[in-house]
């Protein structure tokens, strides 16, 4: 059985799509694309970033840690990818639904992990040695950061 601390990490990750939905539910298309500055993500760009990182970063890393011995896990350059994929021109609802679906699958996998699987390790570019459990903790930290950024962004949007 997985310990309570890890269960809390999984619960937090599982709740993120609903938290994001509540923060964005009544925002207009214009609001979703609004950027506080040229160097900051809009709400839409944040959602696209979360979607792509969930699928191409976390999902791929989890799979590699579970199936390969000491894999190298590639970095995910979110800023470069956002620019290349022109996130602010994408469809918000489609991006959100894809993120929620990818997250649901990752949570399903996490809920089934054994202690031995959580201890599987590899090397994350830019970070170093990492276990699957630590990767999940990093996911939680990343989610927390984006939840806060989205909350702050919503506040700014509502004030303008």
- At 3 the pLDDT is 79
CA-based nearest residue to 34, from 146, 148, 145, 160: 160
Containing structural domain, residue 62: 4-159
- Token pair listed for 154: 């919503």
Length of the chain: 160
- pLDDT over 80 (residue 143): yes
Q: What is the pLDDT of residues 37-62, one digit of tens each?
A: 999 999 999 999 999 999 999 999 99
Half-sphere exposure of 17 (CA within 13 A, CB side): 19
What CATH number is attached to the domain comprising 22? 1.20.120.450
Give 42: exposed, middle or buried? Use CB within 10 Å, 0-12, 13-18, 19+: buried
Residue 112 to residue 72: CA distance in whole angstroms: 23
Q: What is the pLDDT of residues 77-123, one digit of tens each?
A: 888 998 899 999 999 999 999 999 999 999 999 999 999 999 999 99
- At 1 the pLDDT is 43
**Residue 43 contacts by C-beta under 8 Å, 6 or more apart in sequence?**
24, 27, 31, 32, 33, 34, 92, 150, 153, 154, 157
- At 2 the pLDDT is 65
Q: How many domains does the chain have?
A: 1
Q: If you average pLDDT over every residue of the chain, what do you get?
A: 95
- At 108 the pLDDT is 98
Exposed e or buried b for every residue in 67-98, given b needs 16+ CB within 10 A?
Answer: eeeebebeebebeebbeeeebbeeebeebbeb
Q: What is the pLDDT of residues 64-90, one digit of tens each?
A: 999 999 999 999 988 899 889 999 999
- Token pair listed for 128: 């170093």
């Amino acid at each position: 059985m997985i310990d309570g601390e890890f269960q809390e990490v999984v619960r937090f990750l599982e709740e993120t799509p609903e938290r994001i939905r509540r923060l964005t539910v009544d925002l207009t298309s214009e609001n979703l694309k609004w950027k506080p500055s040229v160097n900051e993500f809009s709400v839409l760009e944040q959602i696209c970033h979360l979607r792509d990182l969930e699928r191409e970063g976390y999902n791929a890393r989890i799979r590699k840690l579970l199936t390969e011995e000491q894999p190298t896990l590639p970095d995910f350059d979110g800023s470069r990818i956002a620019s290349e994929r022109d996130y602010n021109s994408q469809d918000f609802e489609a991006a959100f639904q894809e993120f929620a679906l990818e997250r649901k699958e990752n949570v399903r996998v996490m809920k089934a992990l054994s202690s031995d699987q959580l201890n599987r390790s590899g090397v994350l570019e830019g970070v170093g040695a990492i276990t699957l459990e630590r990767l999940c903790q990093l996911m939680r930290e990343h989610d927390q950061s984006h939840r806060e950024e989205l909350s702050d962004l919503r506040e700014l949007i509502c004030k303008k």
